Each structure stands twice: as C-alpha cells, then as structure tokens.
Amino acid sequence: MATLTKAPVVEGHIPFAYQGETYETYYKVYGDLANRTQSPLVALHGGPGLSHDALLPISDLAGTSIPVIFYDQIGNARSTHLKDKPPTFWTIDLFIDELENLLKHFGVQDGFHVLGHSWGGILGCEFEVRRQPRGLQKLILADSLPAIDLWNASNAQLVQTFPKEVQEGLMGGMKDPKAFQGALREFHAHYGCLVKPLPAEFIYSLDQVFGENGDPTVASAPILKDWTIIDRLHLVRAPTFVINGRKDISQDFVVAPFFEGISKVKWVTFENSSHTPFWEERERFMQLVRDFLELKV
C-alpha cells in the first residue's frame, strides 16, 4: 500500500438549477483539488436514496494523492429533500445532470474518474453511455448491476436463506417498519456488510431511507422499473473495473454482463466480502483501485 498522508477535508453545498428551480447538493472532498497531481475520483453512493457515508473508507485514497469527491444525491441525506415531487420527477437524467453540475462546480470535468457503488454504478454507467463525457478517464462499477431483473432475482434467491420471520419482515416492507428494519439489518449483516458490528456509517446510510426519520421519496420512485443497460454496454468507452464480493447481492451472474459487454474491462471478486468490500477487505480494495486508476492505458 502507498504511504498514507493526512488529506485536507472540505464540505459544503453546491447550487443545482433544474427545471426552473434551484436545489442544493451536499459535498465532502478529501484531498487538495486545487493542487492535485492526479485526477480526482468521484464517488456515487447507492440507493437510490442513501448517502455518501457508507463509502467513506474510499477517502483512504486521498492519502495517496488521489482526491476523492463524495456527495449526497438530491432528495437524500444532507442535500435538498423534495417530498412533494411526483414520482415522474425522479429520473436517471436528473441525477446525471446533478453529477455534471458537480463536476463543473469543481472544474474537474476535463479529467476525472468515477466509482459507482450499487445504484451509483447504474448512475455512473448511464452517465458514460448517455452523455459520453470527454473527461471520464476510468470507471469503477463496485457491487453494481446491469439490469434490475438480475438484481431482483439475486435478492429473491438470497432471502430464501433466512428464517421465515426474516422473510416475512422483508416482504412486508414499510407497512411494519420495525419488523422490516430488523429483517433488513439481518439481511445486510449476511449480504450487505460482513464487518461486526455493522459500521455506524453504513447504518446511517440505510437509515436515510429506512430509519425512523428516513425519507423514502427517492427510493420508492419507479426510477429503475424494467431498467437494463445490457444492450448498451458496448457504448462504454472508458476502461472499467468491475468489483463484487463472494457473498454479494451483486452475485457473479448479476455482474457478468458488464464483463461480457464492455470492451476494456477487468473483474475482481473479493473472496471475503459481500456488498461492501471497501469495508470488508479495505486495504486490498484501495490497493487494487489505486493500481487501476494509476495504470496508463
């Protein structure tokens, strides 16, 4: 592992104008963007509807001179909440527009990398395919999915490994929040994050949707209804690193189409991880990501 140095941290809010209204995107940057010697990595959190907190181990890279930009997507956590917007307001293009706005705000649009975790991988992949951003140098799809039906099939399969009360709690959803939260915590302890106890940052992110004061607006919108990108993966130009864990919700059969459909791609499965190898095999994760980002193509 490269020598770690303490990286400066800056946080704040960015104005985001969209359809005649202005919202705020919360950001947290680790590392010195102004005097950077390497392209920054933009981290896209999961959900939709969670927060950047679960991804914070990735800030380790800033200690090896790779600045890392985290942010909470609109409707989530510390960014503007919009509970009164109709479900049709929430689209993939909305979140891509917000990402482009963030890149322009920091002046990094001409040279950057993207790491998308879970739903964040969907967002990163769609950003590349729909907008073909000239500045995107490397794309990392961590524990993600290329089609919602594959994700649903994996979840259905894994749920069957639990006792009946856990299955019922998950199937009941937010109709019985207490039972659902307990069942969800149990599910994630096996297939979401194997660290014991679950990291506070991981729990905080889940609570942004499922907690007592959570906001399920974005998570409940039909953003991914019938969604797939499998037939468009040939449009991914950036060298891509596909990552999953052996006990991941993003099982091998879920992520395999990325490997089959993207032209410049590598795939690593973390044998001692589930859905969050950046927590579970932290040092190795950072080493492999750093090596990938620094590799000249």
Question: Mean of the per-residue pLDDT values for the chain?
Answer: 95
Report pLDDT for 295.
86
Q: What is the dihedral of CA 247, 253, 257, 258, to 10 degrees?
A: 10
Residue of 3, 283, 7, 44 lying closest to 141 (CA atoms): 44
User: CA angle 35-41-46, nearest 5°?
Assistant: 145
Cβ atoms of residues 139 and 123 within 8 Å = no
Which strand ranges, in their side-by-side order, compose the sheet holding 41-44?
A: 9-18, 21-30, 68-72, 41-44, 112-117, 136-142, 240-245, 265-270
Cβ atoms of residues 27 and 20 within 8 Å = no
Chain length of the chain: 297
Minimum mean pLDDT among 29-38, 56-65, 168-177, 211-220: which range? Answer: 168-177
Minimum mean pLDDT among 120-124, 171-175, 184-188: which range? Answer: 171-175
Could you say which architecture CATH assigns to the domain 9-294?
A: 3-Layer(aba) Sandwich (3.40)
Q: What is the mean pLDDT of residues 125-150?
A: 98
Is the pLDDT reported for residue 177 higher than 80? no
Contacts made by residues 5-10, CB under 8 angstroms, sequence distance 24+: 5/63, 5/64, 5/65, 6/63, 7/31, 7/32, 7/59, 7/62, 7/63, 7/67, 8/32
Predicted confidence band of residue 34 (pLDDT cuts 50, 70, 90): very high
At 161, list the tokens: 């490994």
Is the pLDDT reported for residue 276 higher than 60? yes
Assign residue 98 a region (left: φ > 0; alpha: ψ between -120 and 50; beta: otherwise). Answer: alpha
Report pLDDT for 41.
98
Is the pLDDT reported for residue 296 higher than 80? no
Q: Tell me how crowded residue 204 is: count the other CB atoms within 10 A of its CB.
A: 16
Is the pLDDT reported for residue 1 higher than 60? no
Bridge partner list, 9: 30
DSSP state of 228: B
Helices (H), ranges, 160-222: 164-172, 177-191, 200-210
% of the chain exceeding 70 in pLDDT: 98
Helix or strand or coil: residue 153? helix
Q: Please state whether the peptide bond connecting residue 86 to the residue before it is cis, i.e. omega within 30 degrees of 0.
A: no
DSSP state of 51: -
The amino acid at residue 166 is: V
Predicted confidence band of residue 178 (pLDDT cuts 50, 70, 90): confident
Residues designated catalytic: 118, 248, 275
Predicted confidence band of residue 294 (pLDDT cuts 50, 70, 90): very high
Q: Which residue has the higher pLDDT, 7 or 44?
A: 44
CA gap 159, 192 in Å, rounded: 12
Bridge partner list, 142: 117, 243
Is the pLDDT reported for residue 3 higher than 60? no
Predicted confidence band of residue 297 (pLDDT cuts 50, 70, 90): low
Is the pLDDT reported for residue 47 higher than 70? yes
Report pLDDT for 180.
85
Q: What is the mean pLDDT of residues 10-18?
A: 98
Q: What is the mean pLDDT of residues 29-36?
A: 95
Cβ atoms of residues 183 and 169 within 8 Å = yes
Report pLDDT for 211.
87
Q: What is the mean pLDDT of residues 214-219?
A: 93
Q: What is the mean pLDDT of residues 165-178?
A: 83
Helix, strand, coil shares of the chain as percentages rounded to 5? 45, 20, 40
